[in-house]
Amino acid sequence: MLTLTACSSGGSDEGEISASPSVQTLPTDVTDALAAQLTKTMSSNDVPGAAVQVCVPGYENATIVQGVSNIETGTPMTGELVWPLRSVTKSYTVTLILQLVDEGKISLDDTIDQWVDGVPNGDQITLRQLSVMSSGVPEYTTQKFLQDYLADPNREFTTQELITYAIAEPAQFPPGSKKVYVNTSTLLLGEVVAQEYGQPFVQVVSEQILQPLALDTTTYPVAVDEWGGPHPTGYQPAEDGSLEPQDNNFSIFGPAGAMTSTLDDMCAWGAALGQGELVDPATQAARVDGQPLAQGPEYDTYGQGIGMLDGWVGHTGEGLGFTVLVMNDPDSGATAVVAMNVSNKGKHVPTRYFRKIAPVLNAVPLA
């Protein structure tokens, strides 16, 4: 099923395109191209359902949904569901770190041992290296963690517990010697945020980002299955190739991946992130000056909690049945959001889709 919606503020009835005298609707050839490519991408990658939103300054926001939100019930996908952000959460966490830097409370050259004891090479690893994924810290998803999680999938883990699994392991490589994407890096930065503010991370992200940007449908869940509203079911391939529904436990992701959001809020966050709305201009310029990852997601380069794809900047996420992408064009201000209820396909499908549609979006005339 294909549904096209467009709105300048809030949602419109499914299947309708509403017009406003102050903005235009995206050209039909653009939305048709986005929809056709989504159909092709979903078919070739066995994606149950997907939701795409494109937010271009001067135009109505356009939302395209296809497929189902739940295979078993056949419930159609809609544009109003709440999605797990997974690693897009990292862009929030690093933004909080950069705000602390702008305020002069910390320096990116500070070492992590000032906040967390026992990190291998902690007296050498800087906050900058953690933010750009060059720290060499061990990953927290160790055999011990997996054993404990699988023994009780509903167990609620704290960020400190997740870090403990990581620091029991040796460092992966000397700090700064290469760039390997490690979730533990952002867990550690989340601890810095909480300690510097003297408040739980959930409170800090709400007060520093969600409230100022009016991201009313974005949350940082602290309980195992704390969905903020109706949501799709996530799937990933079983050994026989069929898609299996996945359980969800937000607590196993912490500041590296626990947040949830809607398409509207993701589009708003993508614009704020890509345009540097919450940090100083010099900080934003340094943030997006990235280099390629030796190992990690399919970015062209990766900066400070932000990735680059075909000249756009933002972040992607994946895990336990969901994949998402939030990208912004720094030049035009356009934002693209892609969410799919499937993961572990051996490639990040929203990224593959985005690379196909980026030329289409780049060609949209300035309104």
CATH for 83-362 (3.30.2320.20, 3.40.710.10, 3.40.50.300, 3.40.50.970)? 3.40.710.10
Q: What pLDDT does 21 receive?
A: 52
CA distances from 29 to 4, 25, 158, 360, 361 (A): 13, 11, 48, 9, 11
Q: Which two tokens stand for residue 305?
A: 């909690």
Helix, strand, or coil (residue 261): strand
- CA 78 from chain centre, in angstroms, equals 20
CA distances from 69 to 220, 303, 321, 322 (A): 22, 33, 12, 11
- CA 361 from chain centre, in angstroms, equals 20
Distance (Å, rounded) from C-alpha 15 to C-alpha 35?
13
Q: Name the percent of the chain lying above pLDDT 70.
A: 94
In the block, residue with structure tokens 């720290």: 135
pLDDT tens-digit readout, 199-243: 999 999 999 999 999 999 999 998 998 998 999 999 999 999 999
Q: What pLDDT does 2 receive?
A: 34
Distance (Å, rounded) from C-alpha 4 to C-alpha 17?
7
Q: How would DSSP label each residue in 157-202?
A: PPHHHHHHHHHTSPPSS-TTS--B--HHHHHHHHHHHHHHHTS-HH
Q: What pLDDT does 228 receive?
A: 86
Average pLDDT, consecutive stretches of 10 residues, N- to C-terminus, the chain (367 residues): 38 37 88 98 98 97 98 98 98 99 98 98 98 98 97 96 98 98 98 98 98 98 91 96 95 98 98 98 98 98 98 98 98 98 97 98 91
* Closest to 76 in 3D by CA, of 48, 98, 37: 48
pTM of the model: 0.94
